[in-house]
Structure formats: C-alpha cells, structure tokens
Structure 1
Amino acid sequence: MRVEIVGLFASAVHAFEGRPGDGPRPDPEDPRRECLEVRAGLGVVGDRYFHHPAHRQASVTLLAVESLERIAAELGVSAFDPALARRTVVLRGADVDALTHTDFTLDGLRFRGHRAAHPCRWMDVVLAPGAFRAMRGHGGVRCEPLSDGVLRLGPTTLRVRDAA
C-alpha cells in the first residue's frame, strides 16, 4: 500500500520525565529529521532508546497522523505538531494501530510490530487537555527493526506480512 512518511523524529534525551504539571524538559535540539538510520535489533541511531535492552522490541514507534487529526477535531483544537507525540515515525495513509503482532516492511526496511504504544498523561500537557484519553487505542505501535537501512520523509510503500 502507498503511504507517506510525514514525520521522522529522534531525540537523545527523554523530555517527558518527572511530573507532567512541571512541564517537559527542553530538547537540546529539534527532534525532527529528514531521514533516520535504523539498525536491526538496536533502533534509531542517535535516539535515546538506541541499543537499550529494555527497548529492543519497542525502539521504533509508529503513529498515524490521521489519529492526531481526529483527536484534535474531537477536542476542538487546532492540529497538533506530530513531534509532540514523541513517536519515531508518523505515517499518512496506514492503519498503524493494526500493525501490532505483525511483520511488515516500510520503505524497504523490515519491522515487527509488537504492542500498542499507549499514550501517557503527558499528552494532556503537550497536546491538549483530554488528549491522553482520546489517544487510547490510537497511540500507534511499538516496533522492533529487523533490518538495517534508512527511512526518509515522503511517499513510500508499506507491505504487511504474516502475523508474528
């Protein structure tokens, strides 16, 4: 299926630490990327979760931009900056939440979707009040990269394979 990668994000720091009421830590650099280098079993080079054993099956997170658009409309607010959701890859044109427990390729790279990427209370702070609840079931999927390569912004192909 033809899809579009509309956002690629990597950050060396975890901005959502502590209490949401205290606000996020500022990123030392903008997390937006034109491309991401992905390594099998390790994640995204330069990202805070790269090569962390606890995140091997969750080192890349995918989110559908349509989910953010629907949530913004439900809450009656303007469109969200996808970078604020802190997901690695934001796609247009795919049912990302259906990729749990599924092997797939995106832009020629192989991935295994493991579990839903559940939102946290930070979404009420950085997106809008009510976003945390509205994102439940629509927060994307946590994935493990199975091959090395580079993801780039723009049109590409998503191919879903057999269930993992």
Structure 2
Amino acid sequence: MSEPYSFADMLARHAQAGRIEWIGLRPARLENLVSVQSAALTDSGLEGDHARAGKRALSLIQAEHLPVIASLAGLDKVAPETLRRNVVISGINLTALRNHPVRIGEAIVEFTTVCAPCSRMEKTMGYGAYSAMRGHGGWCATVLQPGLITVGDMVTRAA
C-alpha cells in the first residue's frame, strides 16, 4: 500500500535532478547562437550574450521537447541553436519548477514567463514552425544568484 502524500509534497518532489545539455550565446541581436561548454551567469544574463536583463535574462528549454517540436514542424530533428534559447535542460520538468528558485550549476534563477516562439522560427525551420513550438518554447528566467554554469551541471529546485 502506498503512503498518502500531501499535494505540497508531490509538487516539491522530482524523480531526479536535471542536467544542462547545451549552452548557447547570442553575440548580438539576430546573430546565430554560439555553442559553449560553460558561461558566467551574471545579474543581467550570460556573459558574452546580448542578454536582456530582468525577467528575460536567461532562456531555457526542455531537451525532451526538441523532438516534439521537430515532429510538429515536420522535421527529422531540431538543433538547440535553431530554437534560440540559452540553455537546454534534460531530465527534469521545467514547468514543475515554476514559482520556485532553481539551482543551475552555481547559479540560482527563477522562471518568470513562458518563452514564446519568435517569427524567426518560420524562417529557420519552415512554414508552421511557429505553431509547432507553441507550448514547447521553454521559460525565461531572472537571475537570483549569479554563478558559473557548465554543460553537465545539475539542475534542481533550490532549497
């Protein structure tokens, strides 16, 4: 027989920690993303990125959504840099981390808003890509504690 759990307990629990799979920097607005192994996350975003400070300082997407987006767009696969998000995370449901501080490597962030697709998706992935990405575009976050993030770092709900 299973033990009863409170709703708050279930919301706080995750089967496993997440993992940073990919980090990308946009040197300037509208330029292609550059893949990096690590980056310093400052109050205004990733160092070397044309960051948007405040509630959009960092953008994250769920690795498990990349094949979904590709399928809905009629593609075999979608590379992370195509979607123009800074960080790809696997292994943990990013939506379940909303409204809680999240530790990403040495940094702590908090998700602020859904990261909606931009019109560039139609140009880079083809007709219908904007709609394919809706609901799967990830999250924007504000930085609560700066720090280094590196591919392979754990992603967890911060204490």
User: The TM-score by the shorter chain falls in which range?
Assistant: 0.7 to 0.9
Question: 1:151 matched to which residue of 2?
Answer: 149
Q: 1:59 aligns with which of 57, 82, 98?
A: 57
Q: TM-score, normalised by structure 1?
A: 0.78
Deviates more, 1:120-129 or 1:106-115: 120-129
Instruction: Find the structure with the greater CA-based Rg.
Output: 2
* Superposed counterparts of 1:1-164, under 5 Å: 1-15=16-30, 27=32, 31-39=34-42, 41-49=43-51, 52=52, 55-154=53-152, 156-161=153-158
User: CA RMSD, aligned part only?
Assistant: 1.9
Q: Aligned pair count?
A: 144
- One-letter code of the match for 1:60? L
Contact 1:11 1:31 in 2 (8 A): yes
Normalization by structure 2: what TM-score? 0.81
Tell me the amino acid that sits aligned with residue 48 of structure 2. Answer: G
Change (3 A) 1:116 1:98: farther
Give the secondary-structure state (helix, strand or coil) at the position aligned to 1:145: strand
CA contact (8 A) 2:108 2:158 kept: no
* Unaligned residue ranges in structure 1 (runs of 5+): 16-25
Stretch moving more, 120-129 or 82-91: 120-129
Q: What secondary structure, in the 3-state scheme, does the structure 1 residue paired with 2:145 have?
A: coil
Q: Is the 8 A contact 1:124 1:131 kept in 2?
A: yes
Determine the C-alpha separation between the residues in 2 that align with 1:12 and 1:76. Answer: 29
Amino acid at match of 2:18: V
Aligned counterpart, 1:21: none
Per-residue deviation, 1:149: 1.2
Q: Which amino acid aligns with 1:117?
A: C
